[in-house]
Structure 1
Amino acid sequence: MQPSAVTNTSNLTASPSQFYTWHNYRCAYEVHQQINTTPDGIPLLLIHPIGVGLSRRFWQRFCRQWYNTGERNSIYNPDLLGCGESDMPHVAYTPSDWAEQLQYFLQTVVQKPVIVVVQGALLPVAIALVQKESNLIAGLVLSGPPAWALMTKKSPEWQQKFIWNLLDSPFGSAFYRYARTPKFLHSFSTRQLFASDNAVDAEWLNTLLAGAENPASRHAVFSFLAGFWRQDYTSFIASIQQPTLAVMGETASSISQDGKKETPDGRLAHYLACLPQGRGLKINGRNVLPYESTAEFVAAIATFINEVSELIDN
């Protein structure tokens, strides 16, 4: 098996794909560190987004840029169950399921505190992880967190189950075959994810095409589309005691009707008003900042991560 390591940089080394077993499922991850140096600072735990063809490979550009700027933190980059090289059981996944997977990963593989860097609407997974394993979370970086209305309004359970049953059918299988075509992936990316059409490049599309090749990858995507993550997280966000940085795109948008009227400034204000130790900033880009605005994103979070590392060291 070929390692899905980041390439084309002299400053980065990545382990080949490694595996651990959780609930009898085979789960994949990789570890990055700067080549020929001793890791320094708190390790990073990356949580990739869920979507057609998405997996830990979403973070390739981020890892390259992180080490090209001279940072020395180790990076743990796992595939969530149902994605990438991890097993893809035919189940309806919830944020709690993925958080339990990452909790086990922290306890058995990492075995030390981390700063969690979570992309987009996987924020509920990070929130659940903090609730389950607070002692191993030193801080959080929220990359393009969802519209505030999506994080504070529970969708009805009957609706979640209805959408899941609709998608978990021959109709859903046919939809997924279409959704993993280059035409759909390019159209969706330009309409919903990227600020610039030109940023939807061959690397992005080829990564998604490869990630969606296994039709079993649809179950994680359908779980996300069904809205099993749609709960009211207000009290949980307010209980996060770790330093938290929210990074918003200047043109951040929302697919949901509930979030379409919200401005990036308004969204950021909602999060900062609720987070006990929150801070925030905006950078160029839209909804996939670690990929579209990699250099700016790394620069934006590096100071925060180094500050948290110093706090822990002292």
Structure 2
Amino acid sequence: MSQIIIPNTEFYTWKNYRCAYEHYPTEAQDSTPLLLIHPIGVGLSRRFWHRFCQAWYQSGRNNPIYNPDLLGCGESEMPHIAYTPADWAAQLQHFLQTVIQKPVTLVVQGALLPVALEIVRLQTQPNLIQKLVLASPPAIALMTQPTGMRQQKLTWNLLDSPLGTAFYFYARRPQFLSSFSTRQLFASRDRVDSEWLDLLVKGAANPASRYAVFSFLAGFWRQNYRDAIAAIAQPTLVVVGDRASSLSKDKQDTPDRRLADYLKCLPQAKGVKISGRNVLPYESTTDFIATLAAFEQ
């Protein structure tokens, strides 16, 4: 079993904001780096990927890993603004160009897929996205049926208020986090363990982290991305849980249907279904790593 690699926590500046990231350096200079995009939610940050990163190296893989905190999350600055996928994409594009400076495999979790799509749009020459991995992507209906800008702004204004703040303090309680994770994220209640809850509680300790969460809940990511998905020329891996669930009202959104929908839209894609629900890199780490490793070969 490979020795555990301890990441270096480093910082860079984007638009005068201090942004944090972890770099897992390896001696494999010719291996394609992985750039990880964490999900947005109460207490979530780059720490979402810690279990994956350690298991990746313990499995014998040696790709360098870059694990950044998006603005508003973790150790990055948390300005009081409404964040859009385009904002986070611009942050990561700057990170790609100034820090990594070489092509990567971009691995994105869940409904942060719009951020990955925006990064692909930003590519010029050289193209710094070599491959994409979509872990637990949303139902295609959520990616192609926008909510109106007026509705998004109304929701943001409601959340960005004393009422929204009260909701955030309620939502960061361990009891709520455990209940929500069991109902919406994990296939097995047993996987909602102390490590997961500790991750969320610590991540939500700074109340300024609520602005990223409110931006997500306001639905600024809910646009029609059908053309953007169809425009992806890179090899793409879509990984869906066999018990994947959705906030979509589409009753026909089964895991098999979700895979088929993405494979129909993506020009160069492979789809795999593994055990688990909606947070596969965390809940089904071993299976997810095996799937990703096979794609990287």
User: Structure 1: which 5+ runs fail to align?
Assistant: 1-8, 307-314
Counterpart CA distance in 2 for 1:82 and 1:73 is 27
Counterpart CA distance in 2 for 1:157 and 1:130 is 23
Alignment of 1:71-220 (within 5 A): 71-133=61-123, 135-220=127-212
State yes or no: 1:237 paired with 2:233. no
Aligned length: 295
How far off its partner does 1:39 sit?
A: 4.2
TM normalised by structure 1 equals 0.92
Dislocated runs of 4+, deviation >4 Å: none
How far off its partner does 1:41 sit?
A: 1.5
How far off its partner does 1:10 sit?
A: 5.8
Match of 1:249 among 241, 244, 247: 241
Q: 1:152·1:231 contact (CA, 8 Å) conserved in 2?
A: yes
State yes or no: 1:16 paired with 2:8. yes
* Alignment correspondent of 2:295: 304
Match of 1:29 among 21, 25, 29: 21
Matched residue of 2:62: which SS?
Answer: coil
Matched residue of 1:105: which SS?
Answer: helix
Q: 1:253·1:260 contact (CA, 8 Å) conserved in 2?
A: no
Match of 1:221 among 196, 213, 230: 213
In structure 2, what residue type is equivalent to 1:246? V
Counterpart CA distance in 1 for 2:30 and 2:193 is 33
State yes or no: 1:54 paired with 2:44. yes
Q: 1:14·1:30 contact (CA, 8 Å) conserved in 2?
A: no
State yes or no: 1:280 paired with 2:263. no
Counterpart CA distance in 1 for 2:230 and 2:121 is 12
CA-to-aligned-CA distance 1:110-163 (integer Å, 9 cap, x gap): 000000000000000000000102500000000000011100101111110110
User: Structure 2: which 5+ runs fail to align?
Assistant: none
Counterpart CA distance in 1 for 2:94 and 2:73 is 17
* Alignment correspondent of 1:290: 281
TM normalised by structure 2 equals 0.97
Counterpart CA distance in 2 for 1:15 and 1:265 is 37
Matched residue of 1:30: which SS?
Answer: strand
In structure 2, what residue type is equivalent to 1:191? R
Alignment of 1:32-47 (within 5 A): 32-34=24-26, 37-47=27-37
How far off its partner does 1:16 sit?
A: 2.9
C-alpha root-mean-square deviation of aligned residues, in Å? 1.2
Identity %: 66
Matched residue of 1:12: which SS?
Answer: coil
